[in-house]
Amino acid sequence: MKEFDNLQELWKQQKQNPLPDVSVIIAKAKKEKQSMTNKIVIQVATLLLAVVAIIMVVAAIDFKMATTYIGVGLMFLTILVFSGIRLYQVYKLKNIDLTQNPKKVLAELETFYAFQQFVNTKCTLAYFILLNIAFGFYFIEVMQPMSAMLKTIVLVVYIAWMFIAYFFLGKKQKEKEYAKTKAIIDSIRKIEKEYEE
């Protein structure tokens, strides 16, 4: 009888692991999804404001060299294509319905995650290279009247900013995006594990 009492006591001491509330998990995943969508939209809006600023500069200054227009054209093209890719990311993310079957949601999220990695590596690198080539063409005329010292200062500041933007700020932004996507995937996996066993 003592063994039975010990078993009963052990049974009472065990903590019950309550099943997670699906609505809470999905609400949190939706919040992460919306947060990521908003950040991408803000980034695209900022890029498009840069296009407007470039248009204003070209309208205000009578550039003489073809290299300047080549640079400006390449800037437009690079920014618009990259913005289009980022907006496509938003479209793909918004079309993932987190309330459908967890297996289907996971498949869609993993496809999105792979595309996100492609954008944040190859597309971002191509954007960085093309934009810097465009600025190179643009600087030919703009920097022509500058003294050697001023040219050096401008180039050092420009190159430093590009490296900070790409290797530090860009890296942090990628990590945050990956973490948000991973959090959504983990939430759906939790639902799948607990409710489809």
pLDDT in tens, 56-77: 999 999 999 999 999 999 999 9
pTM of the model: 0.81
Helix (H) or strand (E) holding 94: helix 66-94
Residue 29's pLDDT band, with cuts at 50, 70 and 90, is: confident
Mean pLDDT, range 95-113, rounded to an integer: 88
Contact 111, 39 (CB under 8 A): no
Tokens of 56: 């204003």
Residue 7 has what pLDDT?
Answer: 47
Q: What angle do CA 95, 99, 100 make, to 5 degrees?
A: 80
Q: Which two tokens stand for residue 186?
A: 């983990």
Can you tell me which residue has the tokens 């052990």? 10
pLDDT at 45: 96
